[in-house]
Amino acid sequence: MVLKSRNKEPSVETDAVKETSHEDDTPKETQEHHKSHHKKKRAKHDDESQSYASKRLVFMFGAVIGVLLAAYLGAHRHKDFDKLFDLQDYVDDWRGFLPENIRSVLSDFDFATPSQQDLTENFSVGKAMKKDYGLTSKFPVVMVPGVISTGLESWGTAGVEGCPSQPHFRKRLWGSMYMIRTMFLDKVCWLKHIMLDPITGLDPEGITVRAAQGFEAADFFITGYWIWGKIIQNLAAIGYDPNMMITAAYDWRLAYMDLERRDTYFSTMKAQIELQKKVSNQKTILIGHSMGAQVAYYFMKWVEAEGEYFGNGGPNWINDNIAAFVDISGSALGAPKAVPALLSGEMKDTVQLNALAVYGLEKFFSRRERVDMLRTFGGIPSMFPKGGDLIWGTLEDGSADDELSPNKNETFADFIRFDEAVGTFSSRNLTMADSLDYLLDMSPTWFQDRVREQYSFGFATTPAELQANNQKFSTWSNPLEAPLPNAPDMKIYCFYGVGNPTERAYMYQEEQNKTLAKLNITIKAPNNEKSPVFFTDGDGTLPLLTHSMCHKWKTSRYYNPGGSPVKVVEIKHEPDRFDIRGGAKTAEHVDILGSAELNELILKVASGRDDLIEERQITNLSRWVSEMDFAL
């Protein structure tokens, strides 16, 4: 482009030749005029040349700075690019000559010695911890992924009418680019494969879909989008290999007891842990993320219970085989967003789309279709909020987290709100406990039966009730009804994110034309005057109150009969604006698995150096829990 621009400038040599060729044939005055004109043109051209040279210098300077910045930011540490020169000194030298807006951008970067930004690189946390603290592998590790994290593969060859399974054999229908392609090109058949039978809660006849196995099941959701990949890498960096760590992948669509009945999931986990102890002579670290923490908790109740489909491991199995239970952003007391997802197929992510995007999503995958699909997944209701009015508040007394509400005249206990009473479905506002009853009342009978058979969402009121629930599997995913195992030697760690706005309550509107909408209600603010979603503190998915049990376990021998020591570390959400996954200091619900601090904490637990872990409480959750009116 520079050369092309230069060709358009007048040529001094050419003009001079033209003027000289006529000089002898013209009068003297004319010659003087031409000379004067020529001098003016030459002076003008000199000015333009100087301006052009100045612009070219600025352009070249900007290009050099851009290349240097791009090279530095894009370089990997193993290339030793940082040893070529001190970029911080180079930037400081030029900082005073740069415009204010550029200086403000540069101030967001730390070009000095390696900082926590570098800890987003593969294996970097593990290598640093090994170098600084001498951490090495000690305890075997079992990792339990969260909801939707495990890939699902088709293993059938029959299929159903119009939708054969053979073309999908061993292809991932969940957790891959193949899933996305199939959803767009053949949504009907994809739904027939991925949905469960509403009556049995298992595979429809002719369909066989199973959880992927091994580390590949949950290390990446799709190419480039890591989930457990960072943790696996950093464990490997301190000496772990497949003989010392396992990903306990599972079909998250299934109700928990159906995981054992269909896939012998818990029996397999029990056998793997026992084998690990036999080989390494060490107990296991059980790590669960999100719903995976609930599954891990359920396993600890299942393995010691007696009866058909139960573990029959005896009352000391956990104490003898589990060194620690690590709860990472666990949904112990549920996720409020699970209620609107199964009530109207909505949540913050769909409500906040613009009108065009909402229209497109509705045409491609409507709210009614989303509700119908999710209700066949027996595992999703396990994430319904637990504890009712005790944890989530009442309309009269409010909720413990109301101090975080921007409007002091409103309470988060008002979980589902209606601005206008249109009919029977919008006659009154609902608390969390009311909302669950409301959801079940509007659901098919088969859904109601499965939820009531598999789960319980209340709280025990007597020690005898807690003890009896040790044999009642519907309570095992609810720590308010089923206590921790009596395992004084097992340690408990709760690591979760805070400081990220998290949905807590919703404004609904009853549909005027229920036949057209195919739903009774939908999330919508009156006249779109304000957001129909109300936010509190949390990790972007789970609000603070979900982690109340971590603090209750520290003080209550009813819920923690063995007195297992509990450490709680709240991780502040401080995302890197230039990293789409939040960078080394994120605490977002999923991205926290790549957080440098969380990875450090896990390595300290796994290597037996939990003496390096210091508790941290940023929020008032501990105080809130102490002020709750627990019966026990």
How far is CA 146 from each of CA 4, 168, 174, 217, rounded to the nearest angstrom? 58, 25, 14, 12
pLDDT at site 18: 39
pLDDT at 34: 47
Set 289, 551, 573, 589: catalytic member: 589
Cβ–Cβ under 8 Å, residues 584 and 120: yes
Q: Which of these is catalytic: 290, 344, 474, 607?
A: 290
Reported as half-sphere exposure (CB side, CA atoms, 13 A), residue 271 has a value of 5
What pLDDT shows up at residue 9? 42
- Token pair for residue 45? 């051209």
Domain assignments of the chain as residue spans, ordered by start: 2-108, 124-140+244-333+464-499+540-632, 337-384+387-457+502-536
Residue 266 neighbours by CB under 8 Å, 6+ apart:
259, 260, 298, 299, 302, 303, 311
Rounded to whole angstroms, the Cα distance separating 632 from 629 reads: 9
Per-residue pLDDT at 118: 61
What SS3 state is found at 359? Answer: helix
Exposure pattern of 404-424 as b/e (b: 16+ CB <10 Å)?
Answer: bbeeeeebbbbbbbbbeeeee
363 torsion bin: left (phi>0), alpha (psi -120 to 50), beta (else): alpha
Position of tokens 């006249």? Answer: 527
| DSSP H/E element including 572 | strand 566-572
Strand partners of residue 174: 152
Cα 580 to Cα 524: distance, rounded to the nearest angstrom: 29
Which CATH fold topology does 124-140+244-333+464-499+540-632 show?
Rossmann fold (3.40.50)
290 is catalytic: yes
Query: What's the one-letter identity of residue 316?
Result: N
Residues 573 and 596: their CA atoms lie apart, in Å, by 12
| CB-based burial label for 365 (10 Å; 0-12, 13-18, 19+) | middle
pLDDT for residue 511: 87
The helix (run of H) or strand (run of E) holding residue 247 is strand 245-247
Mean pLDDT by 10 residues, the chain (632 residues): 41 39 43 48 50 52 55 43 42 55 54 51 94 98 97 97 96 95 95 97 97 97 94 98 98 98 98 98 99 99 97 98 99 97 84 64 87 97 98 97 93 94 88 97 97 98 97 98 99 99 95 81 78 95 98 98 99 95 96 98 99 98 98 92
Starting at the edge strand that comes first in sequence, how are the strands of the sheet with 152-154 ordered?
A: 172-174, 152-154, 209-211
In whole angstroms, give the CA distance from residue 474 to residue 460: 13
Q: From CA 616, how far away is CA 604, in angstroms rounded? A: 16
Tokens representing 227 are 């989930």
* Residue among 219, 401, 539, 591 flagged as catalytic: 539
Question: CA 280, 282, 288, 292 torsion: positive or negative?
Answer: positive
CA atoms within 13 Å, Cβ hemisphere of 337: 19
Residue linked to tokens 């603290």: 133
Instruction: Establish whether 589 is a catalytic residue.
Output: yes
| Distance (Å) of CA 266 to CA 288, 299, 307 | 14, 6, 14
Task: Name the H helices within 322-411.
Answer: 338-343, 348-351, 355-364, 367-376, 388-392
Q: Is 288 helix (H, G, I), strand (E, B) or coil?
A: strand
Largest CA distance in the chain: 124
Residue 1: Cβ-neighbour burial (10 angstroms; 0-12, 13-18, 19+): exposed
Which residue from 534, 542, 551, 553 is spatially nearest to 497, judged by alpha carbons? 542
For residue 241, CA distances in Å to 279, 352, 353, 554 come to 14, 43, 43, 33
Q: How far is the C-alpha of 481 from the C-alpha of 483, rounded, in Å?
A: 7
* Distance spanning both ends of the chain, measured CA to CA: 78
